[in-house]
Structure 1
Amino acid sequence: MGKKAVRHILGLSGGKDSTALAILLHKEIPEMEYFFCDTHKELPETYEYLDRIKARLGIKIHYLSEKRGFDHWLVIHDGLLPSPQMRWCTVKMKIKPLEDFVGDDEAISYIGIRADENREGYISTKPNIKSVFPFKEKGLVKDDIIRLLEDSGIGLPDYYRWRSRSGCFFCFFQRKYEWVMLAQEHPDLFQKAVEYESNHADGRTYTWTDGESLLQLLERKDEIIAQHEKSMTKQKKAAPNQPLAEVLAEVLDEEDDSLPCLMCHL
């Protein structure tokens, strides 16, 4: 029996960089296996975007799910919500399903970190999964990624109107403006996020954002939106030719530029 062929895998997050990487490689590597780690806590716009990618590129996407969902792992962690210091959601619901998908096969994992980024971490460290970074190898930067998306006809996901990263609707890496906009765009999902903060039998309260509950944050909605619009106006003046989605990303990065998990946000 001959040696099993090395598998080629590419994780889609529903974000712009992993999508651009799929556009770049789908003809070059026809045997590529595309996957999406589905937490079942994603934005509706994310699923719509994945459908758009499949239709435009003619690819199949494997939707990988951890057998036990977020609510199970929340109980295991005694109701402690995930946070930048304790990213159990990424480990349990993104990395583990990927590692189960690959098993013990030799695999090359293609990751969409750009040449103008300096970031790493929160990807599989299993020795049989080798990570490669085609954008870095080819020297591709943000402008190249936007061009790939536009030329393909896929464009940006709809949530880029108000949010600059993919990930769960309650992702703790959201900035205050993004939480406010979640309440506006998806009030039902915002309400679910509120419930996660305080639904504990022993009366404890955890918060998604440091030192402030979502309801307290929402009370400051007008102030947060006014500050955001002021920053947007300033950024538009500084870079008049910049696309609106990029203006938004720059402004949100000014508020908080902490780097989220690669599995969720590329």
Structure 2
Amino acid sequence: MAEVRLGKMHLRWCDQCSVPVLEDVKCARCGNGTHQVEMTPPGDARPAFQHDIDFVRNQVDRQFGEGTGETLLPDGSVYLFNKVPALDRMDEVIADGEVVITMRYDLGIGWRALPRVKAAARIVRKASKNLVWADQGAVEPILGNQSLMAPGVNKVVGDFQKGEEVIVLDPEGNALATGVARMSSEEMRNAERGAAVKVRWAERSVPSAERPKADWNIAIEANARVMERRVREGVEFILKLAEEHADIPQVVSFSGGKDSLATLLLTREAGLNLPVFFIDTGLEFPETVAYVHRLKDELKLDLVLGKAGEDAFFGNLEFFGPPGKDYRWCCKTNKLGPTVKAIVEHYPDGVLSFIGQRRYESEQRSAKPRVWRNPWTPGQIGASPIQDWTSLHVWLYTFKSGVSYNPWYENGLDRIGCFLCPASDMGDLDVARSSPTYDRWDTFLRAYAEKKGLGPEWVEHGLWRWKRVPPSVMEELKRNIPGFELVRKDVPRTGEGNLRLKMQDGFSPCTLGFSIEGAFSRDLDLERVSSVLNMVGEVDVGADEGWCSVGNVTMFREGALIAKGADQEKIKRDVEKVRRAVVKAEECVGCGVCIARCKEGALVLMQGKVRVEATRCIHCGDCFEPCPAISFGDAAFDF
């Protein structure tokens, strides 16, 4: 994937103390020089907790043999995870100041460990499978990053399949390269031609130097100077904003995550004892809600609570269907709506909210200013004291404070939010599934899939997370699962009575833009609807995937609607045009009035319903009305 740079890469390493050092060219603990850690941008590395370390160890054991995982990541060291842009979740694991292995979630397969040569050198004496010995003549080509060809294979250890990760050794048994097997172990033993291993990384391995034992207390000492600077600047920022807006109430917005915790701690370090504003979306992990109340007691917080309605999500689910990365109606019902309501109730004259937003979280947040006015909540000013902090700045500050943090960080999640968030990677959902709260969601998804004629793979591979599944996702699944297809059976159309459109609109806190998510009260005849939509504009159709779009509005066979853009009023006008066209298509009584109004001869009656010949339509809209379906059968939509 394309490189994503969201800010300066701050991570360095002190070899003397064997810990990460942020920004400073000298270690604050020992005074020795530090070196830059080479890793993939954006470089928002975080601590690897024991759960993360065990996860890597177990996967390495599965791939290369019992005991290799602990040999790679022994106790008594500090390790980091660096999340990398990928189709799903991918983390680089940093040990001793360099990336030694990458953990990647492959759709349709699951987790894989991709070791670098440094990792291979550490574990090769312990490894008992997925090993390939190269002969002397193959060494130099491999070091030139060429594939290991079958004639150059001397020996194979273990039984593996094509596509698995392997370690390539030189004739002396030293790690030489790592890569992916291009044939099975059995084929490799007998093949006389062809590529045996596609080399990903290659270099002559050297024995690793013995590193001193290290822990996070040492890392805190090593980063004392930079953290002192960061905290001082954050406190000054908070005090300046508090003085400038002394005429309105001030709060800390708290999500239960590490970033809002760091922001809360900074405000207290500034001497401000501000109320803490928490919105329970109704989709939080139970541990998150319990943690918020526990922290309230721990720090004696003045907690201001807002809460989504009891049925804000599951009550709307039957109508809207599952939310998606491209269909985030839940942000409005469970996050934005309750937030606006609580702010209006508690702070009707405006409020200054200190928020734990960071540029390294996403491209959208990187582009956002440090102080902003909420476009959907008049009077609310947002400000982020930690906008330029990396995740490691936040964790070092939190560790030093000794204040408790959300337990989910130590159970595999790097970001805390709604347990069923469609923006989650499959690697994250694997963790979320361990929560009993996920069972209800899984049950709903399977019932929904059956009702809509979707195969079990729609649930199992997380395809519910999109209305329009990206081609790259489908390609990966087809590559990893021979014969994979998304099954979509014909099922009877659902819904009775006049067609109705229910919508959630507003500023999207997830995409930082204006969007409308809606659903018609029944499934749509996509062929008929896409034809009549030509009255509005040029139409794109994905018949196999079950969608059609015109302009910035997309509709789906099951009745869902999505519209996005920068101009709120324009989107509303566009949606109203589309709504009328859909009603016209679905409720047409075959009167022929619109056909007579079309000067281009683009309208015809087929089986008693109007159709539009796209090649003749000029999208003038003169044929829209008068229309009995719109004038008499049309029910106004609900915002």
TM-score interval, smaller chain: 0.5 to 0.7
CA apart distance, 1:128: 0.8
Q: Distance in 1 between matches of 2:386 and 2:252?
A: 13
| Pair 1:197–1:112, CA change in 2 (3 A) | same
Q: Distance in 2 between matches of 1:206 and 1:98?
A: 35
Q: Distance in 2 between matches of 1:65 and 1:206?
A: 34
**Which residue identity is paired with 2:439?**
Q
Q: Indicate the residue corresponding to 1:110 in structure 2.
A: 354
CA apart distance, 1:44: 2.2
Q: Distance in 1 between matches of 2:511 and 2:402?
A: 25
- The alignment status of 1:74 with 2:323, answered yes or no, reads no
- The alignment status of 1:148 with 2:388, answered yes or no, reads no
CA apart distance, 1:109: 1.8
Any conservation in 2 of the 1:64–1:97 contact (CA below 8 Å)? Answer: yes
**Which residue identity is paired with 1:72?**
G
Q: Indicate the residue corresponding to 2:383 in structure 1.
A: 132
Query: Which of 286, 310, 320 is equivalent to 1:44?
Result: 286
Which has the larger Rg? Answer: 2
**Which residue identity is paired with 1:194?**
D
| Pair 1:189–1:214, CA change in 2 (3 A) | farther
CA apart distance, 1:20: 1.0
**Which residue identity is paired with 1:190?**
Y
Q: Size of the alignment, in residue pairs?
A: 208
**Which residue identity is paired with 1:36?**
F
Any conservation in 2 of the 1:36–1:61 contact (CA below 8 Å)? Answer: yes
1:178-257 map, 5 Å = 178-183=428-433, 185-186=434-435, 188-200=436-448, 203-204=451-452, 212-215=457-460
For residue 145 of structure 1, give the secondary structure of its aligned residue in structure 2: helix
| Pair 1:171–1:132, CA change in 2 (3 A) | same
CA apart distance, 1:73: 2.5
| Pair 1:147–1:202, CA change in 2 (3 A) | closer
- Which sections of structure 2, spanning at least 5 residues, go unmatched? 1-245, 463-508, 513-639
**Which residue identity is paired with 1:13?**
S
CA apart distance, 1:145: 0.8
CA apart distance, 1:32: 2.2
For residue 92 of structure 1, give the secondary structure of its aligned residue in structure 2: helix
Any conservation in 2 of the 1:199–1:205 contact (CA below 8 Å)? Answer: no
| Pair 1:199–1:26, CA change in 2 (3 A) | farther
| Pair 1:111–1:198, CA change in 2 (3 A) | same
Q: Indicate the residue corresponding to 2:306 in structure 1.
A: 64
- The alignment status of 1:97 with 2:347, answered yes or no, reads no
For residue 135 of structure 1, give the secondary structure of its aligned residue in structure 2: coil
Higher relative contact order (CA 8 A, sep 6+): 1
- Which sections of structure 1, spanning at least 5 residues, go unmatched? 218-259
**Which residue identity is paired with 2:288?**
T
Any conservation in 2 of the 1:39–1:66 contact (CA below 8 Å)? Answer: yes
Q: Percent identity?
A: 23
**Which residue identity is paired with 1:144?**
H
Query: Which of 254, 257, 260 is equivalent to 1:12?
Result: 254
CA apart distance, 1:164: 1.6
The TM-score normalised by the length of structure 1 is 0.66
Q: Pick the structure with more strand per residue.
A: 2
Q: RMSD value over aligned CA atoms?
A: 3.2
CA apart distance, 1:201: 11
Q: Indicate the residue corresponding to 1:173 in structure 2.
A: 423
- The alignment status of 1:119 with 2:360, answered yes or no, reads no
- Give runs of ≥4 in structure 1 deviating > 6 Å: none
Q: Indicate the residue corresponding to 1:220 in structure 2.
A: none
**Which residue identity is paired with 2:326?**
Q
| Pair 1:124–1:212, CA change in 2 (3 A) | farther
- The alignment status of 1:88 with 2:338, answered yes or no, reads no
The TM-score normalised by the length of structure 2 is 0.30
For residue 37 of structure 1, give the secondary structure of its aligned residue in structure 2: strand
